[in-house]
Structure 1
Amino acid sequence: MLTQAQKGEKFQDLHHDTGPFVLPNVWDIGSAQLFAGLGYKALATTSSGFAYTHNFRDGEGDFGLDQALAHARTIGEATGLPVSADLENGYSDDPDGLAETITKTAAAGLVGCTIEDTHPGEPGFYPFDVAVARIEAAVKAARSLPFPFMVTARADGLIKGLYDLDEAIRRLQAYEAVGAPVVYAPFLKSLDEISRVCASVKAPVNHLGGLGVPGETVASLGEAGVKRISLGGSLARVALGAAYRAGKQIAETGTFDEVTAAPGWNPVLAAINAGKLM
């Protein structure tokens, strides 16, 4: 079993390997062990996937840092892989609070996290200077740790149309300037936009995969300059969506085609058991 320091080094190295790596966002112990068993090199949590499996929307409900870190610790202990936490806005508006979030996240056994620049559940975002100061504080806290800790600085205004691509790039460049090891602008709409973002910074760029960008594959994203491909809540959506289709079909038609088309337990359990051993 790798130590936390070794996990931190491994996670850092993945961002500088040739070509992109896929970082699956998992939502419970079984999904963590499943994707570990399928050969993925690191895992991330998903705030939306966790929220949806607990009957509330992302950014809503009585859900704070302690719950997020307890959940992330469970994911981290499920396998021997490096784990990064989806921490929404870091559960703090001010830089000092965000620095404390980083310290607590590391204490929970994690080796990275993502930090948003918008308020979860609210139609607003942090002013530019505030957003940069928050990331600067997070990076400073991460650098004080005795192992590499990958802070992923996000420009989330594109999701709700709060600002345009030029502003997202301006923020990513500023995050890089204060030391962010990874930058991330979710909801880019084309390979051209993705290439533009990647060309605008030297830091590794994370891309949110699986949302229907035309021509999007792991290979094409690598050619565009992407270093890491995360999946957000999409894998949880796939799992719950399959159960929804099967349940809906049984209720409406009395047939079981969706159920019988699913994989048998043997390959699934084989992957989960392999993930336990990592």
Structure 2
Amino acid sequence: MNQTEKAKAFGALHRKGDPIVLYNIWDAGTAKAVADAGAKALATGSWSVAAAHGFADGEKLPMSVLVETAKSITDAVDLPLSVDFEGAYSADPQGAAANVAKLIEVGAIGINFEDRVVAGEGLYPIESQAARIRAIRAIADGKGMPFFINARTDLFLAESDLSKHAGLVDEAIERGGAYAAAGGSGFFVPGLIDPALIEKICAASSLPVNVMMRAGAPDVKTLAKLGVGRISYGPGPYRSMMEKLRQEAAAIYSLL
């Protein structure tokens, strides 16, 4: 498939009640392993890519390194690749769009794009974030690319008290609607694990809803029944593999 065909195929994999499952990767080697395991598409996690290069999350990883990592993955594996691009390394709509264009140039067919103010506080106002999404959609359309913008809200991830998540659902639905109108392709709600709340958002959203696996989250089959269209694993795979590496190394060094 060429890049446009990959983008179309990736979008078609997002079906409410029959979600695409993305086991997040961080380099070409992990991309090959996940592809060989049977994945239909690939997605990076920003935390994982940053950590693999010795950086903290939150756009601390130089964007040039992220773009080069994306290129190494698309060069190595012939599957659609979505890149976790955090806030697109720019608060300005045109700046964000120009940065996304660099990912399109190296073969990526989609991004996660969050409404958190990276290196700041809180979330962008709804209209400000919608303007950023519109700019990204415009530049992708200009390239004839059905680019997948997975519009992420950090409402739930920013609130560690799960008992308060119900009070955030109405704003999440409002944000999801605005992001869809601006050109979003999917609606990502990391941090939300309550089945009833997930189902409510899925029912209200015109976009396929992405839930991130974490402790306490429903299993894949349950999420599908709730209407989820995409399931991802975030930094979980990286943390799991690094812990396995640490344990194996510790076992060796304990014998010396």
**TM-score normalised over the length of structure 1:** 0.83
Q: Counterpart of 2:43 in 1: which secondary structure?
A: strand
Q: Could you give the per-residue CA deviations for residues 135-184 of structure 1, whole angstroms, max 9, x where no partner exists?
A: 12222222223232101111013222299333222211110122211111
Q: Which residue of the other structure, out of 193, 196, 212, is the alignment partner of 1:192?
A: 196
Q: Which amino acid aligns with 2:67?
A: L
Displacement of 1:18: 6.3
What amino acid maps onto 2:247 in structure 1? R
* Residue 102 (1) aligns with residue 106 (2): no
Question: How big is the shift at 1:249?
Answer: 4.8
Q: Kindly name which structure, 1 or 2, has the bigger radius of gyration based on alpha carbons.
A: 1
Query: Does 2:2 match 1:3?
Result: yes
Cα shift at 1:229: 0.8
1:32 paired to 2:58: no
SS of residue matched to 2:249: helix
Q: Which amino acid aligns with 2:195?
A: L
**Identity of aligned pairs, percent?**
34
Which residue is 1:222 aligned to? 224
SS in 1 for 2:111: strand
With over 3 angstroms needed to count, the CA separation of the structure-2 counterparts of 1:134 and 1:169, relative to structure 1, is same
Show the counterpart of 1:247. Answer: 249
- The answer on 1:178 being equivalent to 2:176 is no
In structure 1, the partner of 2:41 is 42
Unaligned runs of 5+ in 2: none
Matched with 1:66 is 64
- Equivalence for 1:83: 81
* Equivalence map 1:194-209=2 (5 Å): 194-209=198-213
8 Å CA contact 1:64, 1:91 repeated in 2: no
Contact 2:42 2:80 in 1 (8 A): yes
* 8 A Cα contact 2:116 2:154, kept in partner: yes
- Where 1:172 maps in the other structure, the secondary structure is helix
Residue 137 (structure 2) pairs with residue 135 (structure 1) = no
Superposition RMSD in Å: 2.1
Cα displacement (A) at 1:254: 4.3
TM-score of the superposed pair, with normalisation by structure 2: 0.90
Q: In 2, Cα distance between the equivalents of 1:108 and 1:197?
A: 34
Who is 2:238 aligned against? Answer: 236
Match of 2:22 in 1: 23
CA shift digits 1:89-125 (9 cap, x unpaired): 0111011112212322211111111111113343332
Name the CA distance, whole Å, in 2 between partners of 1:36 and 1:221: 23
Q: How many residues align?
A: 250
